[in-house]
Amino acid sequence: MAKISQKPSTVLYPVPAVLVSCGTGQEANIITLAWVGTLCSEPPLVGIGVRPGRHSHGLIKEVGEFVVNLPDATQTRWVDYCGMVSGRKVDKWAACGFTPAPASEVQVMINTTHWSRVCGLSSTRYLACATSTERLCHISPTTLLSAMMWAC
């Protein structure tokens, strides 16, 4: 097969879609993100991209933590669903049949996903495009991640 040449872009494929749980109590929410990645190994650092207008952006900023949850293949429908509806209007936990489980004193993780890591927000950066926020997340031995969130 011949290689296809395309214009320069920021798209890297394939990218894993993750479910990020954030907020507390009745305000807990789930957002689907593909703009997630490892930024550094030592200290462990993860970054996520969330637009300021998203419901989850405010929850992460307020609480200072979030959980990155890796879904398995059987949860593809819910990954799609959580990326299409707003947590301002819908209880995604109930709609997807997910069970919230305590991940830290303030955070909840999705009990039925394949893998979860708690992230502690270490910084937020608003990028020049002004529609996303960068959040950095450091990973500690206690599985608490310090995170960076970016906005574009």
- In-domain check, residue 49: yes
- In-domain check, residue 5: no
Are the C-beta atoms of 127 and 151 separated by less than 8 Å?
Answer: yes
- In-domain check, residue 36: yes
- In-domain check, residue 2: no
- In-domain check, residue 66: yes
Does 45 have pLDDT greater than 60? yes
Q: What is the mean pLDDT of the chain?
A: 79
DSSP state for residue 27 in the 8-state scheme: G
Weakest-pLDDT range from 39-53, 113-127, 136-150: 136-150
Predicted confidence band of residue 140 (pLDDT cuts 50, 70, 90): very low
The pTM of this model reads: 0.80
Q: Is 63 helix (H, G, I), strand (E, B) or coil?
A: helix
DSSP state for residue 74 in the 8-state scheme: G
2 contacts: CB under 8 Å, gap ≥ 6: none
Query: The domain containing residue 54 runs over which residues?
Result: 18-151
pLDDT in tens, 94-113: 999 998 888 776 678 888 88
The CATH number that applies at residue 112 is 2.30.110.10
Overall domain count for the chain: 1
